Amino acid sequence: MNLDPLHWIQKGTEIAGAGIAPILSKSLAIGDVSAGILAQLGVVVVAEVTDYMQRQQSDREHQRSAAALIIAFHKIQQRLDAGEELRSDDFFRVRTAQPISAQTVLDGVLTKARLQYEERKVLLMGNLLANASFEETLSADDISWMLSLIDSLTYRHFLILAYFYVSPKSGWHSNNIDQIRTRSPIVAAQIEELRNAGLLGGPATWEVPIDILPTGQLLVKYADILEELEWYGEDIRKIIATPLKTIAEI
């Protein structure tokens, strides 16, 4: 086995290409970006990647995990080029007798990315890792919670969540959601699941608007989900179009 982290990371180019196609036209560019970011993130990240690459995994699982890193490193480089600085707290630091936050988060991203059969969710995990590298307000626990949601929800859940993010006054509530059920009962069920997860507003039995909650806003922001809605949200926009007025509302 080749234990060079850069060689291992380059195996994710096929999957990551869906998110950063321009950079993937040259494999050298990937190596340059990855090498530079690994050097800046420190020995903790290099050690975690080196450890992870030795674990048992299929070729496709390897590609998914590596793709998450390519996405993350590319976005980190973009922000550094824009003049931003990596977080300066203890996130990347080795502390005596304490878990290293960056190591915990990176292990989670690599482990969960490898099992994503909906491979666009791998890109969301890479986005989350990139943003976590700058945002000191995000603890390892916060990031782990978001990562678990990306893992457990379907890709379409996130398109729905992004729709409500850009449509804060959508007009949907418990009394007219049957219109969505008529268009797609599964999408209606997924909206209820997002409400039960505390990402969209209000229990389904309350007569309250279906709006995105602060927790949902954070997930959309740090996983860069709006980009996905722009590229792949046409079907969701059609299903969750402006509701027709009910007789009671006329």
Number of domains in the chain: 2
- Predicted TM-score of the model (pTM): 0.86
Mean pLDDT, rounded, of the chain: 84
Check pLDDT > 80 for residue 40: no
Same-domain status, 160 and 147 = no
Yes or no: say if 20 and 56 are a contact pair by the CB < 8 Å rule: no
Same-domain status, 21 and 133 = yes
Residue scoring higher pLDDT (17 or 209): 209
Q: What is the pLDDT of residues 54-74, one digit of tens each?
A: 888 999 999 999 999 999 988
Distance (Å, whole) CA 146 – CA 198 = 12
Distance (Å, whole) CA 112 – CA 232 = 23
Domain boundary among 102, 122, 152: 152
At 47, is the pLDDT very low, low, confident or very high (cuts 50, 70, 90)?
confident
At 2, is the pLDDT very low, low, confident or very high (cuts 50, 70, 90)?
low
Domain boundary among 104, 121, 152: 152
Highest mean pLDDT among 24-38, 134-148, 235-249 belongs to: 134-148
17: nearest Cα among 94, 122, 97, 91? 122
Distance (Å, whole) CA 24 – CA 13 = 7
Domain holding 168, by residue range, is 155-249
Same-domain status, 39 and 147 = yes
What is the identity of the amino acid at 202? Answer: G
